[in-house]
Chain A
Amino acid sequence: MQTKETNKFNISNFASKLAGRQILIPIAALLLLAVFNLIADPSFYKISLDVNSAGDQVLSGYLITILDYGSELAILAIGMTLVTAASGGQDISVGATIAIAGSVILRVLCGSNSRPDELQAPIIVAFLVACVAGMLCGAFNGILVAGFKIQPMVATLILFTAGRSIAAWINNNELPVISDKGFTYFGGFIPGIPVPTPFFIALGCIIIMALVLKFTTLGLYVQSVGINENSSRLNGLNPAFIKFITFVILGICVAVAALIKVSRISSINYSVIAKDIEMDAILAVALGGNALGGGKFNMGASILGAYVIQFLATTLYKFNVKSDAISAYKAIVVIILVVISAPVVREKFKAFTVKMKTKKEVG
């Protein structure tokens, strides 16, 4: 009898502990989707080992597709989380900057000829140049936000509007196509490895970010600037520089995502590449339970949020939902999230759980 009671107590204790955790939100969303798919069609979880056109063994199935296509978003979510936490606003120029960085990659690889038979420069060089381009775009946004104290959404509106034209201009309005096999590895499979490469790239970014957060004070500084700019200045931090650096980090994330994007189809279309991806990245941050007004953040939850969004998209594709309706479903998710995180609802929920607890104890 005694043991049973303590057990019960432990479970409720554990549940309340988890309820306080931020990561619960994306996990709950993931479970909801997972259970829905399990009931609707268990074949969703089937993974098979097939041979691809290059003759290599590769894994395929819906879950692999989610890991594959969710990766760019996960990478962007890393940068977006930092920007959100430090500046209390979002960067909406991500898609346009991907167009710029992608265009730079192709420009370096192709040289002046838009359809080269062989690459004019090593891929790593092209990628590094794209990183610089991404960082410059990030620095531009960062200076406007941190230096001139413009609202992040307004500041990034400039690149959001102009970015795709700049991308087209970088390649003289031509549409380069790359026929080199090695270039497709980044958005596809490396021969002999059955897991899609974008997942490894995302994993690499996550590990690097985890190490940075663990061994440097970046995370702490970003959060303190986001919570209270004035008091962090009084404590010797430079809020402007920290905001600036988060935008530059997002710029690097954008360059990595751009590499995957252009590698997927070995080409680029300036007006549609990574269209509306900034909204998905912001949604990933929100789904991770992070306050969009800045302050504390949970990186893991944002990344999980990104994969949850792709999980949702893949599920909708599977059930043949019209693809132009997918954004409507995402909107529903946003509405639910915003309502849940509203202070009024939280207070009510807290009061409710306290009531339940006291009731239990009385019983």
Chain B
Amino acid sequence: MKKRIISVLLASMMALSLVACGGGSKDKEASSNDVKADKSESIKVGIINNDPNESGYRTANDKDMKAMFTKENGYDASFAYSLKNDEQIASAQKFIQDGVDYLLLSAADTAGWDSVLKDAQDAGTQVILFDRTIDADESLYAASIVSDMDKEGETAVNWLRDQKLDEYNIIHIQGVMGSAAQKGRSGALDEAAKSDGWKIVTQQTAEWNAEKAQQIVQSVIDSGEKFNVIYAENDDMAKGAVAALDKANISHGVGKDVVVMGFDCNKWALEELLAQNWNYDGQCNPFQAEYIADVIEKLEAGEEIAEKTIIMDEKGFDATTITEDDVNQYGI
């Protein structure tokens, strides 16, 4: 009896999968026909991104992409979001099957992409990486549009050096250890501290978390150690640090006791700069859509992309020179 039930189940499953296969291949044909049909009208792009809720940076990035790749601009865009590499790979395979012309990819993880990208190449899909690089051969993608985290750190440290403070006693609040942003932003400060004899009062990771940053700064305040610079590797942590300063009546900002530095250019952070409560904010540019569109245009025109790695312009804002327009234009 049991065996019979199982065999019936198996048989029905097989039948179902056959139907599914049939349906699938039909769909594929239809879609590839579609692509040929409206190729002249719109460019089909598949965009794989991380979850927009991850951070303000990602939200801005996603908004920027959605604003650029619209029907009005001549694109037929589909989006897929995941923080997990395997899910991203699955959606990449789906996009390739759907016959997209361009696959835009911000990979969750650097490894494991080779076979998918080869499939893309075979299917004639061009791959453009944005925001994050992957460990794959350069021939497998058309271009890679990234931020240079080392340069972000250097810009900030050079700005700090130009302030010509009498002494440098720095509280260094790091992001999640090992992330590209943390490595680049910490590296520049570590080097400068060595070469210029700056004193790092404490160097701790707050894992991008404002509460942790607050506790770290609180601990330094309680210990009574002197400090005059807070170098926080993102805005949230700078905000947490400032909350601890406010509690202890330590003045901060332009011409005050403590210099506050943050990264990422959140809109509220730039407003703090405008009010001169903070001193510096380094940009991590989330607006990659324009660069991508540029690359696609070139590829469509049959041009070669000479330099595959494209590094975006990134600014650093000083509280004494920032304007209202900057806040509106660059705030995320």
Are the C-beta atoms of A53 and B211 separated by less than 8 Å?
no
B205 to chain A, nearest CB (A): 5
Q: How far is the CA of A60 from the CA of B218 in the complex (A)?
A: 10
Q: How far is the CA of A322 from the CA of B207 in the complex (A)?
A: 11
Are the C-beta atoms of A175 and B222 separated by less than 8 Å?
no
Contacts A271-B53, A317-B216 given: A175-B268 contact, CB under 8 Å? yes
Q: How far is the CA of A318 from the CA of B250 in the complex (A)?
A: 19
Partner of B219, one of A43, A115, A168, A317: A317
Cβ of B133 < 8 Å from any Cβ of A? no
Instruction: Name the A residues within 8 Å of B324 (CB-CB).
Output: none
Are the C-beta atoms of A115 and B268 separated by less than 8 Å?
yes
Cβ of A311 < 8 Å from any Cβ of B? no
Q: How far is the CA of A164 from the CA of B53 in the complex (A)?
A: 9
Report whether over half of chain A's contact residues are helix, strand or loop; otherwise say mixed: mixed
Cβ of B35 < 8 Å from any Cβ of A? no
Instruction: Name the A residues within 8 Å of B222 (CB-CB).
Output: 60-62, 65, 318
Contacts A51-B249, A53-B251 given: A271-B54 contact, CB under 8 Å? yes
Instruction: Name the B residues within 8 Å of A173 (CB-CB).
Output: 52-53, 59
Docked complex: A94-135 residues within 8 A CB-CB of B? 115
Are the C-beta atoms of A177 and B249 separated by less than 8 Å?
no
A52's nearest neighbour on chain B, judged by CB, is B249
Cβ of A6 < 8 Å from any Cβ of B? no
Partner of A324, one of B55, B207, B223, B268: B207
Q: How far is the CA of A227 from the CA of B219 in the complex (A)?
A: 43
Q: How far is the CA of A37 from the CA of B54 in the complex (A)?
A: 39
Cβ of A243 < 8 Å from any Cβ of B? no
Q: How far is the CA of A173 from the CA of B53 in the complex (A)?
A: 7
Proximity string of chain A (227-261) to chain B, C-beta cutoff 8 Å, 1 when within and 0 when not = 00000000000000000000000000000000001
Instruction: Name the A residues within 8 Å of B266 (CB-CB).
Output: 175
Are the C-beta atoms of A318 and B221 separated by less than 8 Å?
no
Q: How far is the CA of A101 from the CA of B52 in the complex (A)?
A: 21
Contacts A53-B246, A69-B215 given: A265-B223 contact, CB under 8 Å? no
The interface size of chain A toward B, counting residues with CB under 8 Å, comes to 40
The interface size of chain B toward A, counting residues with CB under 8 Å, comes to 38
Tell me which of B55, B206, B210, B250 has the highest count of chain A C-beta atoms within 10 A of its own C-beta: B210
Are the C-beta atoms of A270 and B53 separated by less than 8 Å?
yes
Are the C-beta atoms of B248 and A275 separated by less than 8 Å?
no
A274's nearest neighbour on chain B, judged by CB, is B211
Partner of B214, one of A62, A165, A265, A324: A265
A171 to chain B, nearest CB (A): 11
Instruction: Name the A residues within 8 Å of B211 (CB-CB).
Output: 261, 264-265, 272-274
Docked complex: A277-327 residues within 8 A CB-CB of B? 313-314, 317-318, 320, 322-324
Q: How far is the CA of A58 from the CA of B265 in the complex (A)?
A: 33
Q: How far is the CA of A272 from the CA of B210 in the complex (A)?
A: 8
Instruction: Name the A residues within 8 Å of B53 (CB-CB).
Output: 164-165, 168, 173, 270-271
Tell me which of A43, A261, A317 has the highest count of chain B C-beta atoms within 10 A of its own C-beta: A317
Q: How far is the CA of A184 from the CA of B153 in the complex (A)?
A: 32
Are the C-beta atoms of B240 and A323 separated by less than 8 Å?
no
Proximity string of chain B (218-244) to chain A, C-beta cutoff 8 Å, 1 when within and 0 when not = 110111100000000000100110010
Instruction: Name the B residues within 8 Å of A266 (CB-CB).
Output: 243
Instruction: Name the B residues within 8 Å of A318 (CB-CB).
Output: 219, 222-223
Q: How far is the CA of A62 from the CA of B304 in the complex (A)?
A: 62
Instruction: Name the B residues within 8 Å of A115 (CB-CB).
Output: 268
Cβ of A50 < 8 Å from any Cβ of B? yes
Q: How far is the CA of A313 from the CA of B55 in the complex (A)?
A: 27
Contacts A272-B207, A313-B215 given: A265-B202 contact, CB under 8 Å? no
Partner of A265, one of B59, B207, B210, B216: B210
Instruction: Name the A residues within 8 Å of B236 (CB-CB).
Output: 269, 272
B177's nearest neighbour on chain A, judged by CB, is A324
Cβ of B212 < 8 Å from any Cβ of A? yes
Instruction: Name the A residues within 8 Å of B177 (CB-CB).
Output: 324
B268 to chain A, nearest CB (A): 5
Are the C-beta atoms of A265 and B240 separated by less than 8 Å?
yes
Cβ of A188 < 8 Å from any Cβ of B? yes
Instruction: Name the A residues within 8 Å of B268 (CB-CB).
Output: 115, 175, 177, 267
Q: How far is the CA of A271 from the CA of B234 in the complex (A)?
A: 15
Are the C-beta atoms of B216 and A50 separated by less than 8 Å?
no
Cβ of A183 < 8 Å from any Cβ of B? no
Cβ of A189 < 8 Å from any Cβ of B? yes
Instruction: Name the A residues within 8 Å of B54 (CB-CB).
Output: 271
Tell me which of B54, B221, B223 has the highest count of chain A C-beta atoms within 10 A of its own C-beta: B223
Q: List 18 A-B contacts (CB under 8 A).
A: A43-B224, A51-B249, A52-B248, A53-B250, A60-B248, A62-B222, A65-B215, A65-B218, A173-B52, A189-B247, A265-B239, A265-B240, A267-B210, A267-B239, A272-B208, A272-B210, A273-B211, A322-B205
With A313-B215, A320-B204 known, 17 other A-B pairs at CB within 8 A are A51-B249, A52-B249, A62-B222, A65-B222, A69-B215, A188-B247, A261-B211, A264-B214, A265-B239, A267-B268, A269-B208, A271-B54, A275-B207, A314-B215, A314-B219, A320-B202, A323-B207
Which residues of A are interface residues toward B (Cβ below 8 A)? 43, 50-53, 58, 60-62, 65, 69, 115, 164-165, 168, 173, 175, 177, 188-189, 261, 264-267, 269-275, 313-314, 317-318, 320, 322-324
Which residues of B are interface residues toward A (Cβ below 8 A)? 52-56, 59, 177, 202, 204-212, 214-216, 218-219, 221-224, 236, 239-240, 243, 246-251, 266, 268
